Structure 1
Amino acid sequence: MVILFSATISEKHRQSLVQKYPTLDFIFTSGIKEAEQHLEEATVFVTYGDDLDESTIEKAINLKWIMVLSAGVDQLPFKQIEKRGILVTNSRGIHKTQMAEYTISMMLQVYRQEKTLYENEKLSKWDKSVRMKEITAHTLLVLGTGDIGQEVARLAKVFQMNTVGLSRSGRPVEYFDEVYTIETIKQNLPKADFIVSVLPSTAETKYFLSDEHFNLMKEEAVFINIGRGDLVKTETILQAVRDQQIAHAVLDVFEVEPLPEDSPLWTEPNITVTPHISGQSPNYMIRALTIFQENLDKYLNGENNYTNTVEPSRGY
């Protein structure tokens, strides 16, 4: 069985896999261009999820399983994958620690006026009139109650926050005081001091948030998007901040990435821009390969209870 990597991993991780599975044929490459010449041989394809298209799947005539070493799978050609009956698994859940920490840090950054304090420090400006606020006991609304959303809620509980979650099912989830279906978003937005989106990119979530939703938010609200950039149009966010419909937006994901240098998001004072790094961690690859190896063991043993199976018909 040939396991083909288009995802680049370190020599240390390569050697570990070869030693653990000596009877399997691993082909490690540094990207899809190098991997393409081995597609016909591959039974398993390990990728970051952004390099497969219909033509690539066509060439992979023996492909049975795609392992995505990230959570995002929105760029996969799901129609063809479903038609071929190819198994897809991903690495969702490995981002929860770092993305939850990022979220709490950004909430504090806004309320504790860290941007202003940093600028004052650079100017040697002693200004005690800077208004500080507390996030403690405020209301947090999380769009998406999966692993990441649940971890955000867990950390928020340290600050005695009221945690409200929205999901497709609306079923109760630990660390959320209340959970409702996503259809109730208009009723819940006016209550929230912080709105955090961890939603994936699907047909249902693409441009889900509109001007109407931002109109419903508190003027003091902080909007944080760590899910996908196509949840809301850039112009909608800009207008909401400029019209003071909300107080601040923290954006780690964007409609176009990398964010163009001339984007007005960079210079808007009440918008914080970070380059899609909320999921970064020195433990990222260790966690992703652990899930891969768990699933590889199950695959070799003929088991079907894979971790993080992706449903092609739903796109996640």
Structure 2
Amino acid sequence: MILFSAKLSSKHQTKLAQHFPDQHFRFHETMNEAKKDLAEAEVLVTFGDDLTESLLKKAEKLKWIMVLSAGMDQMPLDAIGKRNILVTNARGIHKTPMSEYVISMLLQVYRQAKTLIHNEESHHWDKGVHMQELTGKTMLIAGAGAIGQEVARLAKAFQMKTIGISRSGKSVDYFDANYPTAELAKLLPETDIVVSVLPSTPETEHFYTYEHFQLLPNHAVFLNMGRGNAVDSDVLLQAVRQGEIAHAILDVFEVEPLPENHPFWREENITVTPHLSGVSKQYITRALEIFDHNLQTYQKSETDFINKIDVTRGY
């Protein structure tokens, strides 16, 4: 039985049932509803943040978990690994909306959108607003996977120099150069923009230090849309207030939702968005295309799964 704890439209439910007539699907909108069927589930389709170790124990027949998101940090990976349960996710489907988010947010900063909107609302004509160009900047992208690669591709439309860092440092299309993450510090003095799409792993927790922000030029912009715990909030706030960087664009945070009284909200040189860089009307359709492929693979007892996760690493 294939159990969904992720809400699907009736259109998507019908399409799956028609495409896989020999499979028995049970569709629920939440894990609270789905948990009554866990004992019979061989496949679980979830967004990943609703599966606990205690619930996993109830799923005695479970062989495969399909996560309809990229984040794995809230899942009981140790327990999953001990049972040798296959895990796949929807990594890569976010590349279009997230890369567009990067360009739109950077243009917002460089072309002073906040100030222009404020002036419009107050009927204030000011031609002295300090405009800057995005073209020709050097962008360092931390995380050179599918999302980072698409960011780099779009950055090339603005004639930017693109530098990627990743665990391996291997060469990737649309990057002028690629380096291992250990070489980050030496790259920062010549970087205008840092875009972080790092996943949440033990190695990436508080990855960015105050010294890193000191190494950046004081005109630099830091954008984080990977995971909020890649940087300590107090460290980032201090870097902005001390002028180590010019602006921070944040879509992810150590605590979400961001508390109403958090100083990030009030900081002029910080742009806050509510973890929506990957939002798209095409999201579920793209995620289910991966599930469709992987279910066909699973039925045939083959091994060419898309986005098979190494649970020891969390990605």
Per the alignment, residue 223 of structure 1 pairs with 222
Specify the SS of the correspondent of 2:309: coil
Q: Where do residues 2-81 of structure 1 align in structure 2 (5 Å cutoff)?
A: 2-81=1-80
| Matched residues, number | 315
Deviation at 1:236, TM superposition (A): 1.0
1:217 Cα deviation from its structure 2 partner: 1.1
Partners of 1:94 and 1:239 lie apart in 2 by 34
- 1:230-250 CA-to-partner distances (Å, cap 9, x unmatched) read 001111111111111000000
Equivalences for residues 259-298 of structure 1 within 5 A: 259-298=258-297
| 1:75 positional shift | 1.1
Distance in 2, matches of 1:314 and 1:230, equals: 16
How many angstroms apart in 1 are the aligned matches of 2:45 and 2:202?
25
Give the whole-Å Cα distance in 2 for the aligned partners of 1:265 and 1:89: 35
Secondary structure of the structure 2 residue equivalent to 1:184: helix
The alignment status of 1:235 with 2:223, answered yes or no, reads: no
Q: Tell me which stretches of 4 or more aligned residues in structure 1 moved more than 3 Å.
A: none
How far apart in 1 are the matches of 2:140 and 2:182?
14
What's the CA shift string for 1:112-151, capped at 9, x where partnerless? 0111001000011100001111111110000000000000
Match of 1:128 in 2: 127
**What amino acid sits opposite 2:255 in the alignment?**
V
Counterpart secondary structure, 1:212:
helix
Distance 1:265 1:163 in 2: 28
In structure 1, the partner of 2:92 is 93
Structure 1 length normalisation: TM-score? 0.99
Cα distance in 2 for partners of 1:156, 1:312 equals 32
Deviations, residues 206-242 of structure 1 (Å, cap 9, x unaligned): 1111111111111000000000000011111111111
CA deviation string 1:143-201 (max 9, x = no partner):
00000000000000001000000001111100000000000010011111000000000
Task: Give the TM-score taking structure 2 as reference length.
Answer: 0.99
**Mind listing any 5+ residue stretches in structure 1 that lack a counterpart?**
none
Amino acid at match of 2:77: F
Write the letter of the residue equivalent to 1:211.
Y
Q: Which residue of 2 aligns with 1:172?
A: 171
Amino acid at match of 2:134: I
2:149 partner letter? Q
| Structure 2 CA distance for aligned equivalents of residues 192 and 226 of structure 1 | 18
In 2, distance between residues paired with 1:25 and 1:125?
62
Q: For residues 190 and 38 of structure 1, what CA distance do their matches in structure 2 show?
A: 55
Residue of structure 2 in register with 1:193 after alignment: 192
Whether 1:156 and 2:155 are equivalent positions in the alignment is yes
Q: Distance in 2 between matches of 1:51 and 1:6?
A: 8
Helix, strand or coil at the partner of 1:297: helix
Question: Matched residue of 2:195: which SS?
Answer: strand
Alignment partners' CA distance in 1, 2:281 and 2:28: 21
SS of structure 2 residue aligned to 1:98 = helix
Cα distance in 1, alignment partners of residues 253 and 156 from structure 2: 28
Q: State yes or no: 1:104 paired with 2:103.
A: yes
Query: How far apart, CA to CA, are the structure 1 residues paired with 2:200 and 2:119?
Result: 39
2:113 aligned residue: 114
Match of residue 257 from structure 2? 258
Name the CA distance, whole Å, in 2 between partners of 1:94 and 1:100: 11
Structure 2 unaligned segments of length 5 or more: list them.
Answer: none
Q: Secondary structure at the match of 1:82?
A: helix
Separation of aligned partners in 1, 2:189 and 2:30: 46
Superposed CA RMSD in Å reads: 0.6
Distance 1:259 1:6 in 2: 26
Cα separation, 1, equivalents of 2:9 and 2:232: 37
Residue type of the alignment partner of 1:271: I
Q: Which amino acid aligns with 2:67?
A: V
Aligned-residue identity in percent: 57
Q: CA deviation at 1:301?
A: 0.8
Q: What's the offset of the Cα at 1:20?
A: 1.3
Q: Quick one: distance in 1 between partners of 2:89 and 2:68?
A: 6
Letter in 1 for 2:84: G
AA partner of residue 38 (structure 2): L
